[in-house]
Each structure stands twice: as C-alpha cells, then as structure tokens.
Amino acid sequence: MSTIAVTGSSGFIGSALVSSLRSDGHEVIRFVRRPPANADEAQWDPAEGTIDRAALERADAVVHLAGEGIGEKRWTDAQRRKILESRVQGTSTVARAVADLAAAGRGPVLVSGSAVGYYGLRGDEILTETSTPGSGFLADVCKQWEASARPAEDAGARVVYLRTGIVLGRSGALGRMLPLFKLGLGGKLGSGSQWWSWISLADEVGIIRHAIDTAGLSGPINATAPHPATNAEITKTLAKVLNRPAVLPVPAFALSIVMGKELTDEVIMAGQRAVPEVAQSSGYSFRHPTLEEGLRSATSK
C-alpha cells in the first residue's frame, strides 16, 4: 500500500479521490491550511509558501488539487488575481518541496492539477496533449499554473499535469444545472454548438490514480472522456436521463449580464474539444466512456 498526500482534499474531486484511495487500503495525508485536527492531516500555507516537509517525506505521491474555483464568481480584477495566485502560489509551494526531496533522492511523483482551458478557444479543432497552448485569461492561468510545477520536474521528480475538463457530478457545472433541468426549465446555452470536454467523477479519480501508478507516465494528460460533446448534446442527453423536457435555451447576453462577459465568453459559451490520447495510449480503461453513461452515473442516487 502507498501513502498519498492530497491538497484540496475537501473539494468535489479531492474528497472522491481520498475515499477511493482509502477504500483500497492506501494511507492518505490531507494537507489543510488550518492547524491539523486529525492524525491524517498536515498543515500548509500556500500564501506564505510553507508546507509540512516531514509529512511530505512520507508520501509516495502528491496530488495537488487546491485552487480558487474558476466558474463560481464573476471575473472581476480581484477575482482574476485570486484565481491566478491561488494556483501559482499553491503549486510553487508543493513543487519546491517535491524538488528538494527529489534532489535528495526520495522525491514522490507529483500529479498537479491543470485544465483543458490550457488550449484556449479553438472551435471544432480536436485537441490532444501535444496541441499548442491557446490565448485568453484561462489559457494564461493554465500556462502559469503548469509552469509553477516545473521546479519538481527539473529536479528529477516525475510530474504529471492533469488537464481536467468538466467533471460530471452533483457539484460543479452539472450540479448548478440540475435543479433547473429537474423542473423542466433547462435548455442549451446560446447556440449550444460549443464543445464541452466532460469526464465522469469516477474516471477523473481513475485517471489520477492511473497517473500515480503508471511509472512511465509524465507530462500533460487530458482528464476527459473519449467523446467530447457539444453543449446542445449534453443538454439533450441530460433531459433524456432525467426524463424532463429541455426546451428553454438561455441566450448568451443573459449569461453575460449575470456572470460577466469574459467568464461567459471563455468558459460558458466556449470550450475545448479535447481527447484523452495519453490516458488511452497508456492503458487507462474508462468506466463511463459515453455521455449517457457519465450523466446517469452523475445523477444516480
């Protein structure tokens, strides 16, 4: 059995990962910002750049998931700074500590969070891990986010950059859509032609664990299902799964008023058609490869 350190362990993905690891007998160290209250906790302060090195030395792998939510609030100047700084500061803190351990010959593998927003706005282009980075605020955040983990890689640690798409579950983007859809008030967003690279929560956790366990795997990996879908396809399939109509489209201008134009343009009304080339070529088998399977899993009790 292995010892896995996790930041962001109380979040949507982190809590599912911790549960999965523990169910298989692995020890989990949860890094928290407050003073530790339980034996499985260790303290870190990304803003101050400090982390419990002794706890980190015990880890065979570090999964870094912490960071300010991207789509929950309007992108004011202050919120943009918070999104960027939370990722750069946190990743730099973890990466420097892993780099020091690697230089001493005992560095754990680092699976460091990122997002498919790295590729920017590319329309119908199919995007693999070798695709070039895009432009825009979110792409710039992802580039700096990944660059912050490079010290660990440069020191010889194995580093995997987890480029996650939309994770289907009762939290996150789908969680915000479900109440309206259950009332029969859901519908596509704008034209619905924007690509959303989705993944089930079980496969998100599965790919993280695959990245930990696959010794030859390093660099970027798209944590997305094999078949990305348009927003219109997701809307239609979700309505089918819930047995509800979905005939009330939401115009783009209304979303811009509520969420702000930049967030609407870069996240809600746009997306990436990313495919998991690295995951599949390295042997990962998806539990929910189709959209209907992913949505049924996400909405089941």
Tens-level pLDDT at each residue, the chain (301 residues): 899 999 999 999 999 999 999 999 999 999 999 999 999 999 999 999 999 999 999 999 999 999 998 877 888 899 999 999 999 999 999 999 999 999 998 889 999 999 999 999 999 999 999 999 999 999 999 999 999 999 999 999 999 999 999 999 888 778 878 888 888 878 888 889 999 999 999 999 999 999 999 999 999 999 999 999 999 999 999 999 999 987 777 766 666 766 677 777 776 767 899 999 999 999 999 999 999 999 999 998 6
CATH classification at residue 258:
3.40.50.720
Strand partners, 164: 115, 223
C-alpha count within 13 angstroms, C-beta hemisphere, residue 217: 26
Q: pLDDT (tens digit, 9 = 90+) per residue, 232-267?
A: 999 999 999 999 987 777 766 666 766 677 777 776
Question: Which is it for strands 41-45 and 50-51: parallel, antiparallel or unpaired?
Answer: antiparallel
pLDDT for position 253: 60
The count of domains in the chain is 1
List of long-range contacts for 280-287, beta carbons under 8 Å, 24+ apart: 280/226, 282/210, 282/214, 282/216, 282/217, 283/210, 283/214, 284/206, 284/207, 284/210, 286/203, 286/206, 286/225, 286/226, 287/200, 287/202, 287/203, 287/206
pLDDT for position 254: 63
DSSP summary character for residue 300: -
pTM of the model: 0.94
Strands (E), 39-156: 41-45, 50-51, 61-64, 109-115, 126-127
Query: CA distances (Å), 23 to each of 5, 29, 109, 288, in order?
Result: 15, 14, 21, 20
pLDDT for position 251: 67
pLDDT for position 258: 60
3-state secondary structure of 21: helix
Contact yes or no for 282/214 (Cβ under 8 A): yes
Query: CA distances (Å), 11 to each of 146, 216, 279, 286, in order?
Result: 20, 28, 23, 22
Contact yes or no for 149/170 (Cβ under 8 A): no
Residue numbers of the domain that contains 17: 3-299
C-alpha count within 13 angstroms, C-beta hemisphere, residue 153: 16
CA–CA gap between residue 192 and residue 200 (Å, rounded) = 20
Please list, residue by residue across 227-256, b when 16 or more beta carbons sit within 10 angstroms of its beta carbon and e when fewer do: ebbbbbbbbbbbbebbebebeebbebeebb
CA–CA gap between residue 53 and residue 59 (Å, rounded) = 10
